[in-house]
Amino acid sequence: MSEVILPALGESVTEGTVTRWLKNIGDSVAVDEPLVEVSTDKVDTEIPSPFAGTLTQIMVQEDETVAVGAVLAIVGEAASAAPAETAPAAPEAAAAPVEAAPVAPVATPPVAAAPVTPPAPVAAAPAAPVAPVAPVATPPVTAPVATEQAAPVAPAPVAPAAPAAPAAPVATAPVAANEETSSDPNYVTPIVRKLAAEMGIDLGTIRGSGVGGRIRKEDLTAATSKTAPAAAHAPAEASPLRGTTVPMSRLRKVLSERAVASMQQSAQLTSVVEVDVTKIAEMRQRVQAEFTQKAGTKLSFMPFFTLAAAEALAANPIINATVEDTNIVYHGSDNISFAVDTERGLLTPVLKDAAHMSISTMAQAIADMAERTRSNKLTPDELSGGTFTLTNTGSRGALFDTPVVFLPQSAILGTGIVTKRAAVVKDADGNDAIGIRSMVYLALSYDHRIIDGADASRFLMQVKIRLEAGKFEANLGL
């Protein structure tokens, strides 16, 4: 018997709440196979099993909160746990001998218990011709996997000529289900799979834009807009949540508590400037193809905003400072948090020492961390240590907003949508003229306890000057 404990999920994480068990008692588990989902005040994550065997006991129930180091479950050896599970399974096998046959060829997961022969007299006959699979496929304890794969392998029990139907395709299916590695472009997160089902989209027709070709929520939205342009003019469909009451998730509770605490304990206000980013827009169009090929991700405005902010923080350390009692702590590095919208709420992964990153490195890091944040693969430490936050409020079309500063940080920069509109410019002779320019609003919310309006204006003007100059060729990193 081996104990599965709640591991340390970050320096500041002391407890976690079990949100969902991915295995039931009696199920077989492999090493590093996801066993349970746990929610903390930093991130929701899957806890993998450090042992191979059979789940014999669940010590912490769903929605129960325990401290780091608490025992979550007991995993026993497959050979010792199999007889306990096969005793009740025997009458089921006798009552439904037809269903026993597909279990044998399907069940190829790691529980290889050849001694489990009593409950499989019926399955033994059809399994005999399939010599390569018979030794592995006998344990009925893998019934959950068989049920999960029942649809794709339905043809297996139909054909009497078992030797003509090799087990190769059956053997690969569990591997795809159990080895959900980041390098597998065919893996789709449960959130995306559920959303695709709700939208009636066939995932096989979607080309993913995420890391390694992963399909993201944005890909589903884009596919919908392409296939149904008339839907944009149709009334929005009513949400099934209307008229219901649901409990807050742990993450939502933490966010709400911190937002209220930040507003009560700090004096917040917002300053806004308008920035002409036409030169950056022209650069993006000029180098987009080369950048995408070499960096592996598209070049957006976000890395430019982030780099300009990081450089301005070095010259305006008060914007990057923290209040501790009656002291002001000036941080020695610019660790910029950036907001990511997820199904579970707003999360902020951190770019460490952002001012020392190239545009390509920053773009890759933003794309990678945003994707892993949405797919629940980010570690808590990657969400900690931020000294300043940047939130792209324009990603959903907003001109600007007044973002909330979350303590202990003292400032947050909101970037609005970049839009083309008429603006006053200088012509070749230095005279005022009207031109079509790419414009954006930058809104800085800050803690007025230590940051004055003049400090905020100096910071914003330095960011504005850097962006409007558009001289980022040396920072591209191509």
Q: Which residues have a catalytic role annotated?
A: 448, 452
107 beta partners: none
The helix (H) or strand (E) run that includes residue 18 is: strand 15-21
Burial class from Cβ neighbours inside 10 Å (0-12, 13-18, 19+) for residue 434 reads exposed
Q: Specify whether the CB–CB gap between 171 and 133 falls below 8 A.
A: yes
Q: Specify whether the CB–CB gap between 426 and 434 falls below 8 A.
A: no
Q: Specify whether the CB–CB gap between 86 and 141 falls below 8 A.
A: yes
DSSP string, 248-293: PPHHHHHHHHHHHHHHHHS-EEEEEEEEE-HHHHHHHHHHHHHHHH
Dig out the tokens for 441 from the structure: 């609003």
Q: Specify whether the CB–CB gap between 356 and 336 falls below 8 A.
A: no
What single-letter amino acid sits at 374?
A: R
**Cα separation, 397 vs 324, whole angstroms:** 36
Q: Specify whether the CB–CB gap between 108 and 133 falls below 8 A.
A: yes
Residue 68: CB atoms within 10 Å: 15
Main-chain phi, psi angles of 267, to 5 degrees: -105, 105
**Cα separation, 464 vs 44, whole angstroms:** 37
**Cα separation, 238 vs 31, whole angstroms:** 43
Q: What is the chain's length?
A: 478
Q: β-strands 411-415, 388-391: how paired?
A: parallel
Q: What is the dihedral of CA 83, 85, 91, 93, to 10 degrees?
A: -90
Q: SS3 of 345, please?
A: strand
